[in-house]
Structure 1
Amino acid sequence: MAKSRLTLQFIRYNLKIVFGNRFVYFLGASLIFYLLVTSINFFTSDTVSIEGVYFHLMFPAFLLIFFPTSYGIQNDEDARILEILFGIPNYRYKIWLVRLVMAFFMVFWFIFLMANLSSILLIKVPVWEITLRLMVPVLLFGMLGFFFSTVVKNGNGTAVIVVIIGLLVWMFSGFLETSAWNIFLNPFVLPSGMSESVWANVIAKHVRTWLIVAAVAALWGLLNLQSREKFIK
């Protein structure tokens, strides 16, 4: 019983750090954007499609994961607990790995909720599938944000880098279009002239490639956290 209470306190405390006070602004912006796009599509329901819902949910999902991963290290510094955290053995596994899992877990259910609302208000969509598909780019950009935060060691600097990368990727996505290398590939759009089996292989390669990149970014970031002197000034 005491162990369960301590576990709950640990989770509650780390949720406060991961989703700091400023997270409410990102959550608010995400909800406003989602409601605005949903309202527009609600009155033009004849143009709504599953692939459209996928894209509409992508930006709110990015906003939700942006703060906890990009500003996480800065939150620790602001809370003046870096010295304590870096004194804990196996810091990378016991603290930040748990925080990353909590952050993505929370974002997953936010996306799931918005997908359900879209399914009710706009058009029937495969809620579980669309949520899991969206988690691929969300995991990628979330882990990149975490990695760069361990390099830059500043939330605002990390935000600038991640936004620039996102804009560059978005600009080149038009050229890549149906390629597995397109981070913003929409798995619900079957290209004309391409068989379903070939398209399924493209999607599988897309998922596999960017999940590996996300895993490498996460591990690299966790290794960077071992350089204690870089973060404590």
Structure 2
Amino acid sequence: MQKHNNTVIAKSRLTLQFIRYNLKIVFGNKFVYFLGASLIFYLLITSINLFASDSVSVEGVYFQLMFPAFLLIFFPTTYGIQNDEDARILEILFGIPNYRYKIWLVRLVMAFFMVFWFIFLMANLSGVLLINVPVWEITLRLMVPVLLFGMLGFFFSTVVKNGNGTAVIVVIIGLIVWLFSGFLEASPWNIFLNPFELPSGMSETVWSNVVLKHMRTWLIVALVAALWGLLNLQQREKFIK
């Protein structure tokens, strides 16, 4: 019994060390700048809303949290491959069997888990400072575009293999999508669709179907991007030269 407990403790310690080490790789270096920019942007917009004459709405809080959420997920997914190369562990990781599942899948889960709780904390803060909001619902709804852009960043990083180049591509895609969002408006194809903003003249039932289709569509796209990126990581010769 004691031997079994010692084994469990040893495995737990190894797991914690593995998580701690990968957190340093994924969230190291430049992440502090993205985190700082995210918090500054959030506090700036919150301060403006606090002293604005117009009342703050739930849909306004949703949009307010969207940009900081994108900043948080931008670095760990876009610069992931480059971080491995900078840390001189890329070739070591490619020598591990089932690399895509044992390392990067865990890293993606950790990145999105951390971002989820950052969004949750900011939503709670908005609930205290601005207006009572459904914190859990806003956080979960925001994770749809966050997952999409995060997985797209990860996918393009496996193609470009350079953080700065990937960042440019993701930013350009984001700007194009943002420009077209004005034309799409209440369409489920609008990535920036606000699920809390019921269009005038549309019933709640129809709107619920639109929001559901929006979530289902872009979560599938995010899943495809993730799987495609993981498959790209199997082509060792493209990364190790």
TM-score range, shorter chain: over 0.9
TM-score, length-normalised on structure 1?
0.99
- Higher Rg of the two aligned structures: 2
Pairwise CA distance, 1:45: 5.9
* Partner residue of 1:213 out of 217, 221, 226: 221
Percent identity, aligned pairs only, is 90
In structure 1, what residue type is equivalent to 2:216? Answer: R
After superposition, the C-alpha distances for 1:33-62 in whole angstroms (9 at most, x for unaligned) are 000000000112642110000000000000
Note if 1:66 corresponds to 2:74: yes
User: Contact conserved, 1:45 with 1:122, CA < 8 A, in 2?
Assistant: no
| Counterparts of residues 140-159 of structure 1 (less than 5 Å) | 140-159=148-167
Unpaired runs of at least 5, structure 1: none
1:32 maps to: 40
In structure 1, what residue type is equivalent to 2:144? Answer: V
In structure 1, distance between residues paired with 2:25 and 2:53: 40
| Counterparts of residues 83-102 of structure 1 (less than 5 Å) | 83-102=91-110
The list of structure 1 runs, each at least 4 consecutive aligned residues, that deviate by more than 3 angstroms after superposition, is none
Pairwise CA distance, 1:153: 0.5
Q: CA RMSD in A?
A: 0.6
* Partner residue of 1:119 out of 127, 136, 160: 127
- Count matched residues: 233
TM-score, length-normalised on structure 2?
0.96
User: Contact conserved, 1:53 with 1:118, CA < 8 A, in 2?
Assistant: yes
Pairwise CA distance, 1:140: 0.1
Note if 1:198 corresponds to 2:206: yes
User: Contact conserved, 1:41 with 1:122, CA < 8 A, in 2?
Assistant: yes
Unpaired runs of at least 5, structure 2: 1-8
